[in-house]
Structure 1
Amino acid sequence: MTRQPYAPNYRGLVDALIDLKEGLPSQTGGKLVVRCVTGEAITTGKAVYIDTPTGTIFKAIANSTIDEATVLGFTQENTIIGATTDILVGGVLATSGLSPGTPYFLSAASAGSITATPPSTAGQFVTRVGEAGASTQLAVRPELPIQLR
């Protein structure tokens, strides 16, 4: 059976979107998690990046390189060096001390930490990591870093 092309109108667009939705994997529990190997000991809830040469994860920071400021997600548990762990790439991170409705950014002062105040020094990176839905919930949506000039 040969698949017919989508109609060049509204109906064709709707059909294409339905096919796309049905073809995508569903997310269980409203979160997206990947498994990675750690390159250092990391505590729960820290922002991490992937070190390209080694393929391992480390705590991200906004005052170093663009790679170290590119947040993959957040750790789900305390880990040791060389451990395989789950990284929350999308979904809700359970944490504390947040201001609901406030966007959060990768910290330039403390590796793996987040802050409501974006970095402002030239050479640092602004990496938005998500928004607080409640004082104990961060909606994780990492964005690409932007270097300040």
Structure 2
Amino acid sequence: MWLQQEIRLPALERGFHLITDRVVEALPDMARCRVGLLHLQVLHTSASLTLNENADPDVRHDMDAFLRRLVPGDLPYFRHTMEGPDDMPAHVIASLLGTQLTLALRDGRPALGTWQGIWLGEHRDHGGSRRLIATLNGDSKGAR
């Protein structure tokens, strides 16, 4: 089975957001996939995808706080400033973390560790809605 679908996410505040459930709900055909791969790509240059802690929201807060300090918006050598002081730092962070994930699928769901979840990193103060492209490849008869 091959499937490709766009997933639209509402505008979210700056920071990291656990989106695992939204991704699974948006892809009901994934439930038929015994074994496969799910590739996710955020279609923006100022947001990122990463896999990390799914239980304690303090981890998402701390990651955002660390990255804001690592790449502040007031660096005097940034030239790309026409879209606001948060734009160039957002591009840097998106490149550092990446804009795509490939996840193993097992028994109709992403094969995540106990404490793992899919995060969307919103790196703009007002980034707007975000789009993901999800590409699913799998087999309903595959072995584990």
Same fold (TM over 0.5): no
Higher relative contact order (CA 8 A, sep 6+): 2
Structure holding more helix per residue: 2
Alignment TM-score, normalising by the size of structure 1: 0.23
